[in-house]
Structure 1
Amino acid sequence: MLVGTTEQVKRIAGREALARSFEDTDRQLAQHRLPQQDDWKECERRLGRGMTHVTLFNYVRKYIHSVVMETSFNDPAVAGFYSHDTRGKRYLVAFNTGFLPEWSIITTDRADLPTKERRGWRTVLLHLLKRKAITFSQVSEIVRTHYGYTPADWNKYWHYHVSDFK
């Protein structure tokens, strides 16, 4: 039972209704959010050991000799990898120019829905792997080289981190 003036009761009821409305909206929007979305938004944690888009291109070019990097006509802050073969130019993946974080970072709107992704260099390599433009061992070699591990150190590090997936 609410006690107070009529105006106070209306104000409290209005706040409670608004809170319920926010909770309902949040429940409805939850299906449109990414799994572990809060982790994707933490810029400091996702920066990792970044690299420039030119460094990434040089690593990739070592393994895909037909790859070219082109800047977008519509947005100069975006570039893409393309490969040339007998069928012509083939799109592989797009990413931001400049500094690339190690892991992708998303930005969200006021409703906490994802609106934009800044791809990390690992995500770019994953897209190349999915398109069969590069092999898993080549991706592993790029990561190892970027981190400066010797092959023996890298093998220990790699086996430790993938042991759960064997």
Structure 2
Amino acid sequence: MARACFSSTALLLALLPLASCGALRSWRHVKPDLVTQTLETGVIAQDLALGGGPAAALGDTLTMHYTGTFMDGSPLDSSRTRDAPLSFTLGEAPIPGWNEGLVAMRPGGLRLLTVPPERAYGEAGIPGLVPPDTTLLFEIELLSIGE
């Protein structure tokens, strides 16, 4: 019982900076009973809304919208601001942590990924954009799965 309470509290503390800057457009979907998965790579996946249909698997072509932020809530990048969904093959994602964090996601789903530096931009970062050794947050809406 105490563990469930801690998980809910930790989740809310993690999401508050995102909500305050508007990064989480779907704050209404957040529920205290969210299932949180911490993967072997350190990526943390939290489903804010479950989708339907087939589950994403390695080799599938995913089309999604994403909003990336830093841990303090400041914006990094968003496909929504460009109104240009991103498509890629799962297993060849532009952010390595997405390869693990998006497996089994279903179209229409909304997932929050916490991606540690070693599964994002690592020690190098991206000069002028992402500092070295930076953990990033991504809100991902899976639009469709192709083959």
State the TM bucket, normalised to the shorter chain: under 0.3
- In our comparison, the structure showing a higher alpha carbon Rg is 1
Higher RCO, Cα 8 Å, sep 6+: 2
More helix by share: 1
More strand by share: 2
